[in-house]
Amino acid sequence: MDVEHVEDTPLIQFRQAEQRGPGMTSNDALVITALLANYEVGRIFIDLGSLVDILFSKAYDQMQLGDVPLKVINTSLCGFVGEVVHSRGMISLPLTLGETPLGMAHVLKFLVVDIPSAYNVILGRPTLNAFQAVVSTYHMIIKFLVNGGVGFMVTQGGIKADPANKGHPRNGTPTNINELIVKQVKGEYEAKEKSMIRYLQQTEELKMKFKSFKLQQIPRGDMAKQTTSLSWPAL
């Protein structure tokens, strides 16, 4: 007699009680606010059909990410009506979804595109797969597995539900790669990406060589300009 193997992985499910907000319908755009690099960014559109993650040029310029290299690549995108859109390049940035202790961060690759848009960022299938996320367009909720539980993001029902969101740094969750590594070593976040797992393993090996140690994040030299509260009507 064969016995089916049952894993203790938490179950992602959507309940009828998890209703949409007032005035929202299941046909509204999936729009969230999340932490990207060192900023809380609004007007992030979840596109289930997109093969790439996109950071629009206006938001990129306002984030002042001069210390993060923009890799120039010869890649173009095909728009909704068949027009060809050329990218400025590709950039790797940490994206955090959810709140501690059910928050998770991944370093993702974004194409920077210089075209007008009502949104700041488009998150496509690469992000959803990285977070092992499941989206319910009916409930307007995104759920993902993290730290033995289920994290979630409630969407905002389209652009009208996110008026004049101000982009600004935020404390308490990882907003850059260095902070992400520190929180993973402390056990506050779960390392899942291969590069993050490698960093964590190397740190654990170093810990064994010391009787005691103090773990401290050292900010980048010009981090001060990025940690100043900014008011951006577009973010």
Please calculate the CA angle 37-87-43 and round it to the nearest 5 degrees.
45
Q: What is the pLDDT of residue 147?
A: 80
- For the record, the structure tokens of 135 come out as 């989206």
**pLDDT tens by residue, 123-143:** 999 999 999 999 988 888 899
- Point out the least confidently predicted range of 50-64, 86-100, 163-177: 163-177
Question: pTM score, two decimals?
Answer: 0.62
Domains and CATH numbers, the chain: 31-175 (2.40.70.10)
The pLDDT tens digits of the residues spanning 178-195 come to: 555 565 665 555 555 555
Q: What is the pLDDT of residue 124?
A: 94
- pLDDT top residue among 181 and 206: 206
pLDDT at 68: 83
Closest CA to 177 of 91, 92, 62, 90: 92
Q: Which long-range contacts (CB under 8 A, 24 or more apart) does 194-199 make?
A: 195/107, 196/107
Region 192-214 average pLDDT:
63
d(CA 82, CA 124): 19
Q: What integer pLDDT is reported at residue 215 of this predicted model? A: 61
Q: What is the mean pLDDT of the chain?
A: 73
Question: Phi and psi (nearest 5°) for 42?
Answer: -100, 180
pLDDT reported for residue 33: 92
CA 152 to chain centre: 12
Q: Is the pLDDT of residue 106 over 80?
A: yes
Tell me the C-alpha distance between 95 and 102, whole Å.
Answer: 14
- The mean per-residue pLDDT over the stretch 210-217 comes to 62
CA distance readout (Å), 223 to 108, 228, 230: 20, 9, 14
